[in-house]
Homo-oligomer: A and B are copies of this chain.
């Protein structure tokens, strides 16, 4: 039962995601791994996505390792056990008073915005944001909020644009239904992972605080922003009232999210999750995975960043290969192949011979390469060599 036209999505997002992958025999493990970290049974290097998304068999192996390392204690309805431990971990990491497990990013974003807004209706968001475009009009149809999109097709709006938009409301409208909140996605998935500059975030935060406007961070992929900009997650979080971080995009869980923020906001959430039907009996399979994978994740990601620099420098020396960082980007890089290179064949060879997956180049022989911790499954030379042999 599907609710959207996946082909449309892929076409518009400019990225070709591979179809369901068949399990492979494991390649050689790299010894760069820290924290007792080891690749899954069938480690595949993936130049797409933000991190490891385990197939079921590997998922279970990984959770068994987690259980062996520290006995997993289950939660009941999100209370206690490994869920509570994960919430504490996120509170420390974000420097927030409280954290709570959420079934989905959509629920995390929507409930955060709803509670921050209170009775006010207007919520300012990026035009390109997940809240505006990918939450199925939940803000309006369930939470009774009016989203006010800023910065059409751009990664971010500036503090000045926000201030202007808010002040201009007095000219555009007679009735005052109140500024509810401001929500910022960072990095932005729909602009290929580009970040909101930290200076703008600071200014927006200052403006919002001096005007008592709640500020929410859709930080689903905030780890990507942090690894590429060097700004710590705690610093990012410090500018916002509430922060949502995904558990499945790169922390290995099959689903789930964490929302962190002040007690006055987060303490309302458990009840709201129940009321909106998101309260599940036991959530430990996601929480335990995320907690386990979180250990050392930032180090691994930084290692991947470094390794990718080495790899891309080498690839750029290959004739007809050009890899470029996006302007203001994080882990997504553009790959342009000269027309002499058969991009589709190259992709197939990397997959078949080297267990390296990348998106299929389009008709202009272009695609994007995403950097994530799966690069660490091999060393840089292995990957560089694989590309050389696949051209």
Please give the residue numbers on chain A whose beta carbons come within 8 Å of chain B beta carbons, in ascending order: 1-6, 8-9, 11-12, 20, 53, 55-57, 59-60, 63-64, 67, 71-74, 77-80, 82, 84, 87, 98, 100, 102-104, 106-107, 110-111, 119, 121-122, 133-142, 144-147, 170-177, 248, 254-256, 266-271, 274-285, 288
Q: How far is the CA of A12 from the CA of B167 in the complex (A)?
A: 13
Q: How far is the CA of A53 from the CA of B281 in the complex (A)?
A: 10
Q: Cβ of B270 and Cβ of A74 under 8 Å apart? A: no
Known contacts A256-B280, A282-B255: A137-B174 contact under CB 8 Å: no
Q: Cβ of B137 and Cβ of A122 under 8 Å apart? A: yes
Q: Which residues of chain B are within 8 angstroms of A142 by Cβ–Cβ distance?
A: 142, 144, 275-277
Q: Cβ of B57 and Cβ of A60 under 8 Å apart? A: no
Q: Cβ of A103 and Cβ of B176 under 8 Å apart? A: no
Q: How far is the CA of A254 from the CA of B78 in the complex (A)?
A: 11
| From A5, A55, A145, A173, residue with most partner B Cβ within 10 Å | A173
CB distance from A380 to the nearest CB of B (A): 30
Q: How far is the CA of A137 from the CA of B12 in the complex (A)?
A: 31
CB distance from A137 to the nearest CB of B (A): 4
Q: How many copies does the complex hold?
A: 4
Q: Cβ of A2 and Cβ of B282 under 8 Å apart? A: no
In the complex, which residue of chain B has the Cβ closest to the Cβ of A254? B282
Q: Cβ of A137 and Cβ of B111 under 8 Å apart? A: no
Q: Which residues of chain B are within 8 angstroms of A172 by Cβ–Cβ distance?
A: 12, 133
Residue in contact with A138 in the complex, picked from B176, B276, B285, CB distance below 8 Å: B276
Residue in contact with A134 in the complex, picked from B134, B173, B254, B277, CB distance below 8 Å: B173
CB distance from A283 to the nearest CB of B (A): 7
Q: How far is the CA of A8 from the CA of B170 in the complex (A)?
A: 7
Q: Cβ of B3 and Cβ of A270 under 8 Å apart? A: yes
Q: Cβ of A248 and Cβ of B3 under 8 Å apart? A: no
Q: Cβ of B136 and Cβ of A177 under 8 Å apart? A: yes
Q: Cβ of B279 and Cβ of A104 under 8 Å apart? A: yes
Known contacts A137-B146, A140-B146, A280-B256: A177-B2 contact under CB 8 Å: no
Q: How far is the CA of A271 from the CA of B173 in the complex (A)?
A: 13
Residue in contact with A279 in the complex, picked from B100, B106, B270, CB distance below 8 Å: B106
Q: Which residues of chain B are within 8 angstroms of A60 by Cβ–Cβ distance?
A: 60, 63-64, 67
Residue in contact with A1 in the complex, picked from B5, B175, B269, B284, CB distance below 8 Å: B269
Instruction: Give 10 closest A-B pairs by Cβ, nearest first.
Output: A107-B277, A255-B280, A254-B282, A136-B175, A56-B72, A3-B270, A140-B146, A137-B177, A121-B137, A4-B174
Q: Which residues of chain B are within 8 angstroms of A282 by Cβ–Cβ distance?
A: 53, 248, 254-255
| From A72, A171, A271, residue with most partner B Cβ within 10 Å | A271
Known contacts A140-B144, A175-B134, A177-B275: A288-B104 contact under CB 8 Å: no
Known contacts A67-B60, A256-B280: A274-B87 contact under CB 8 Å: no
Known contacts A73-B20, A136-B271, A174-B9: A59-B279 contact under CB 8 Å: no
In the complex, which residue of chain B has the Cβ closest to the Cβ of A282? B254
Q: Which residues of chain B are within 8 angstroms of A256 by Cβ–Cβ distance?
A: 280
Q: Cβ of B254 and Cβ of A1 under 8 Å apart? A: no
7 contacts between A and B (CB under 8 A): A20-B80, A56-B73, A60-B63, A104-B280, A141-B146, A175-B271, A177-B275
Q: Which residues of chain B are within 8 angstroms of A122 by Cβ–Cβ distance?
A: 137
Q: How far is the CA of A98 from the CA of B1 in the complex (A)?
A: 9
Q: Which residues of chain B are within 8 angstroms of A145 by Cβ–Cβ distance?
A: 140-141
CB distance from A122 to the nearest CB of B (A): 7
Residue in contact with A144 in the complex, picked from B64, B106, B144, B176, CB distance below 8 Å: B144
| From A135, A248, A266, residue with most partner B Cβ within 10 Å | A135
Q: How far is the CA of A271 from the CA of B133 in the complex (A)?
A: 14
